[in-house]
């Protein structure tokens, strides 16, 4: 089972929301590392995003989110599926633990809080740090997105053309 997550890019929660398919362990306010396609160059890269809302795929709200996302994609000429944002759990990236069994490092951004605009954002004073864990997760998302888009562009040649 999967769900949809509306994500803002960066750590401030001030951008437009973009929809991704995520696993059920992703929650409101989580910081994820989705892939993005640059609108001009079409280059795929990884970025940081904050989950602003989620909806299960099978729910009424989830179906509305899916329709809205597909409609926005169609307006831009994109006929593929909604992009998936992989988590550390999806790629098997376990968090390191100390000898005592506690987590070795805390996430540098910490928990998100609801800001003045009503959206989730990183707490004041917290700075983004590109750790090896974040870089690995971004790279996995970029590779998965590129593989998906390569298949979509390849398969278009074999689909029936509209009249």
For the chain, the farthest-separated pair of C-alpha atoms sits apart, in whole angstroms, at: 66
Residue with tokens 């593929």: 80
pLDDT digits (tens, 9 = 90+) for 79-102: 678 899 998 888 888 777 778 877
pLDDT digits (tens, 9 = 90+) for 5-45: 999 999 988 899 999 999 999 999 999 999 998 888 889 99
* pLDDT of 140 over the 90 cut: yes
- Within 10 A of 46 (CB to CB), how many other CB atoms are there? 21
Cα–Cα distance measured from residue 81 to residue 104, given in angstroms and rounded to the nearest whole number: 37
């Amino acid at each position: 089972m999967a769900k949809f997550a509306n994500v803002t890019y960066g750590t401030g929660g001030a951008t437009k929301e973009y929809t991704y398919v995520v696993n059920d362990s992703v929650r409101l306010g989580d910081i994820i590392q989705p892939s993005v396609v640059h609108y001009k160059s079409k280059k795929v890269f990884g970025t940081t995003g904050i989950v602003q809302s989620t909806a299960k795929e099978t729910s009424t709200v989830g179906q509305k989110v899916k329709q809205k996302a597909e409609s926005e994609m169609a307006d831009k000429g994109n006929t593929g599926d909604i992009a998936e944002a992989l988590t550390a759990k999806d790629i098997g990236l376990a968090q390191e633990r100390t000898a005592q069994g506690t987590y070795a490092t805390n996430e540098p951004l910490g928990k998100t809080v609801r800001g003045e605009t009503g959206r989730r954002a990183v707490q004041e004073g917290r700075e983004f740090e590109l750790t090896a864990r974040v870089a690995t997760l971004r790279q996995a998302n970029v590779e998965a997105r590129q593989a998906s888009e390569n298949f979509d562009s390849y398969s278009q040649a074999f689909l029936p053309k509209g009249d």
